C-alpha cells in the first residue's frame, strides 16, 4: 500500500518557530494595549450549540459555520466569531458581572470559506468589547485602541473607516427603499470591491428601480454623521487619535446582521488584503440570545492579516530567533550531573537555558547552537568538572572564558 505523505488541510496552516515569534510579538503587544485600556481577558468554548451560532450572522455568513451532529446527537458548531459566544456569556452571567464590562478575547475561530490571500479557514481572532453602556465614548475607545495598536506596530498608511447603521437606514428611507433593506445593504457592502457601477448593476438585478438606485447614491454622496456619530468623532479627537487615520465613510456597511449603530473597518494601502479590523455596535444581540437588554460595542483585530502585512512590509524590529540564552554542552556521563546542575541553576535565575541531550562531537553541538542563534555555550568537561569551573563560549565573537561555576550567573546577567 502506498504511504501518502501527510498534508495540512487547505485553508489551515502550520506555524514554524520563526513565524510564531512574529505572531507572539503581535499578540503580546495587543494584550499590552488592551490591558492599558482596562479590558479584561475572557475565553469561551471551541464548540457551541448550533442554535447559539446560527441565525445571528446573516444567510451568507451562516453558510460558513462548521456545524455537525456529535455522538450525543446534539447539533453543534465551531466558533465562527468571538462576538456571539461572548454575547452568550453575557446572556448567562450578565446579572453577575459589574457593568460596564470591558473584555478582550484571543482565540481561534473557524469558517468554511474559500481560502485566498488573507482569508483562511482557521483564524486567530483578537476581540475587544465594552458591554453595558450606550455612551459614544465607548465607541470612540474602540477606535483609539485600533489606532494605538497599529501605531505601535509601525503601520504608516492605514484608514479606519467609520459609519453608522442608523445613517445607512436614514439613507435607505430617503431613497424610498423601505423593503428588502438588508438585501440593498448586502449589495452596498461590496462597494470597496466592485465600486459604484458594480453595486448599481447588482441592485438592478435585484429589481430595485433606477430612481431608488440614483437616490441611494445621491444621498450617500451628501451624507453626514448623525448626532450620535458626531459625538463619537468628538470623543475620538479628545482621545488623541490622529485625524489623518480615520474617516467617515457612508458606503461602509459591515455585512453581519447583528450591528445596530456605529460600525468600523480598517484598511491598509498595501498589501491589498482586505480589512484588518472590523466591528461595531450590537445593542440587541444579548437580548436575542435570551439575556438582559445589554448595549455592546467592539471590534476584531485580524491578527492573521496584520501579521501577513507586517511580514510583507517588513515592519517589525529584528526579532531574536530564540529566547534561549545558553546551551549547556554534553560531554558524556562523567560530567552529566554537573552539567544538569548548572542547567538548573541558570533556569532558577531566569536565564533561559537548554541542555544538549546527546554526547555528540562538540563541533556538532556548536553547529546546533549557531543554527538556533543561541548566543552562549557553557562547557563542563573533565578538566572543568575537577575544578568546579565552566567554560563560557560567546558564539558571536568566538571568545571564551573559564570561570568558577558559582560565578556564571553573574557573568551572564551582565551580558
CATH code, domain with 297:
3.30.930.10
In this structure, the answer to whether residues 402 and 256 fall within a common structural domain is: no
- Determine the structural domain holding residue 404 and report its residue range: 326-413
Given a contact cutoff of 8 angstroms between Cβ atoms, the answer to whether 246 and 160 are in contact is yes
Q: Is the peptide bond before 271 cis (omega within 30 degrees of 0)?
A: yes
The pLDDT score that the predictor gives to residue 2 is 56
Mean pLDDT of 202-220: 92
Q: Which residue has the higher pLDDT, 57 or 358?
A: 358
- SS3 call for 285: helix
Measured distance CA(329)–CA(356) in Å, rounded = 6
CATH code for the domain in which residue 364 is found: 3.40.50.800
The pLDDT score that the predictor gives to residue 357 is 95
The residue count for the chain: 415
Q: Which range among 1-5, 243-247, 318-322, 370-374 shows the weakest confidence by mean pLDDT?
A: 1-5
In this structure, the answer to whether residues 290 and 335 fall within a common structural domain is: no
In this structure, the answer to whether residues 330 and 206 fall within a common structural domain is: no
Total structural domains within the chain: 2
| pTM of the predicted model as reported, rounded to 2 decimal places | 0.84
Measured distance CA(135)–CA(358) in Å, rounded = 62
229-251 pLDDT, tens digit per residue, is 999 999 999 999 999 999 999 99
Single out the residue in 248, 282, 313 at which a domain terminates: 313
Would 345 be classed as within a structural domain? yes
The pLDDT score that the predictor gives to residue 58 is 78
Instruction: Name every residue whose Cβ is closer than 8 Å to that of residue 271 and which is 6 or more positions away in sequence.
Output: 117, 308, 309, 312, 313
In this structure, the answer to whether residues 67 and 202 fall within a common structural domain is: yes
Other C-beta atoms lying within 10 Å of the C-beta of residue 130? 24
Single out the residue in 256, 288, 313 at which a domain terminates: 313
Crossing angle of helices 165-174 and 227-238, in 10° steps, is 150
The pLDDT score that the predictor gives to residue 99 is 93
pLDDT at 18 over 90: no
Other C-beta atoms lying within 10 Å of the C-beta of residue 99? 15
Average pLDDT, whole number, for the chain? Answer: 91
Given a contact cutoff of 8 angstroms between Cβ atoms, the answer to whether 18 and 127 are in contact is no
Given a contact cutoff of 8 angstroms between Cβ atoms, the answer to whether 12 and 122 are in contact is yes
pLDDT at 1 over 50: no
In this structure, the answer to whether residues 299 and 346 fall within a common structural domain is: no
Q: 181 falls in which pLDDT band (50, 70, 90)?
A: confident
Measured distance CA(226)–CA(232) in Å, rounded = 10
In this structure, the answer to whether residues 345 and 263 fall within a common structural domain is: no
User: Is residue 333 exposed (0-12), middle (13-18) or buried (19+ Cβ within 10 Å)?
Assistant: exposed
271-328 pLDDT, tens digit per residue, is 878 789 999 999 998 898 888 889 999 999 989 999 989 888 888 777 777 889 999 9
Mean pLDDT of 23-35: 95
Q: 178 falls in which pLDDT band (50, 70, 90)?
A: confident
pLDDT at 206 over 60: yes
Mean pLDDT of 182-196: 86
In this structure, the answer to whether residues 74 and 136 fall within a common structural domain is: yes
pLDDT over 70, % of the chain:
99
Please tell me what DSSP assigns to residue 261.
S
Q: 29 falls in which pLDDT band (50, 70, 90)?
A: very high
Strand order from edge to edge, sheet including 47-49: 47-49, 75-78, 67-69
Would 231 be classed as within a structural domain? yes
In this structure, the answer to whether residues 219 and 250 fall within a common structural domain is: yes
Dump the DSSP string for 161-227: EEEEHHHHHHHHHHTT--SSHHHHHHHHTTHHHHHHHHHHHHHHHTT--HHHHHHHHHHHHT----H
Would 388 be classed as within a structural domain? yes
Q: Which residue has the higher pLDDT, 42 or 17?
A: 42
Amino acid at each position: 500500500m502506498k504511504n501518502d505523505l501527510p498534508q495540512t488541510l487547505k485553508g489551515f496552516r502550520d506555524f514554524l518557530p520563526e513565524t510564531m515569534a512574529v505572531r507572539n510579538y503581535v499578540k503580546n503587544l495587543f494584550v499590552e494595549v488592551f490591558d492599558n485600556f482596562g479590558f479584561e481577558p475572557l475565553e469561551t468554548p471551541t464548540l457551541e450549540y448550533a442554535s447559539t451560532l446560527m441565525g445571528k450572522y446573516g444567510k451568507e455568513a451562516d453558510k460558513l459555520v462548521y456545524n455537525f451532529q456529535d455522538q450525543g446527537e446534539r447539533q453543534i458548531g465551531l466558533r465562527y466569531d468571538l462576538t456571539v459566544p461572548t454575547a452568550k456569556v453575557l446572556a448567562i452571567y450578565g446579572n453577575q458581572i459589574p457593568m460596564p464590562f470591558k473584555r478582550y478575547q484571543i482565540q481561534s475561530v473557524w469558517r468554511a470559506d474559500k481560502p485566498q490571500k488573507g482569508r483562511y479557514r482557521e483564524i486567530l481572532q483578537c476581540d475587544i468589547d465594552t458591554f453595558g453602556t450606550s455612551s459614544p465614548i465607548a465607541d470612540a475607545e474602540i477606535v483609539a485602541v485600533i489606532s494605538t495598536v497599529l501605531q505601535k506596530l509601525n503601520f504608516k498608511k492605514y484608514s479606519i473607516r467609520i459609519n453608522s447603521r442608523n445613517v445607512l437606514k436614514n439613507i435607505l428611507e430617503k431613497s424610498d427603499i423601505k423593503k428588502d433593506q438588508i438585501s440593498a445593504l448586502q449589495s452596498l457592502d461590496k462597494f470597496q470591491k466592485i465600486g459604484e457601477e458594480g453595486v448599481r448593476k447588482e441592485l438592478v438585478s435585484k429589481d430595485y428601480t433606477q430612481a431608488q438606485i440614483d437616490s441611494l447614491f445621491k444621498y450617500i454622496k451628501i451624507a453626514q454623521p448623525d448626532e450620535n456619530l458626531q459625538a463619537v468623532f468628538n470623543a475620538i479627537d479628545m482621545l488623541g487619535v490622529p485625524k489623518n487615520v480615520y474617516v467617515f465613510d457612508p458606503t461602509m456597511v459591515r455585512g453581519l446582521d447583528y450591528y445596530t449603530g456605529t460600525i468600523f473597518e480598517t484598511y491598509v494601502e498595501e498589501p491589498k488584503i482586505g480589512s484588518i479590523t472590523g466591528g461595531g455596535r450590537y445593542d440587541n444581540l444579548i437580548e436575542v440570545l435570551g439575556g438582559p437588554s445589554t448595549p455592546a460595542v467592539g471590534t476584531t483585530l485580524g491578527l492573521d492579516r496584520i501579521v501577513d502585512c507586517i511580514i510583507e512590509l517588513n515592519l517589525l524590529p529584528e526579532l531574536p530567533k530564540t529566547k534561549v540564552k545558553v546551551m549547556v554542552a554534553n560531554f558524556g556521563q562523567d560530567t552529566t550531573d554537573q552539567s544538569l546542575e548548572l542547567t538548573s541553576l541558570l533556569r532558577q535565575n531566569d536565564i533561559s537555558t537548554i541542555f544538549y541531550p546527546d554526547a555528540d562531537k562538540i563541533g556538532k553541538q556548536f553547529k546546533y547552537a549557531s543554527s538556533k542563534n543561541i548566543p552562549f555555550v557553557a562547557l563542563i568537561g573533565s578538566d572543568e568538572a575537577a575544578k568546579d569551573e565552566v567554560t563560557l563560549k560567546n558564539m558571536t565573537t568566538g571568545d571564551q572564558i573559564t570561570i568558577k561555576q558559582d560565578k556564571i550567573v553573574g557573568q551572564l546577567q551582565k551580558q
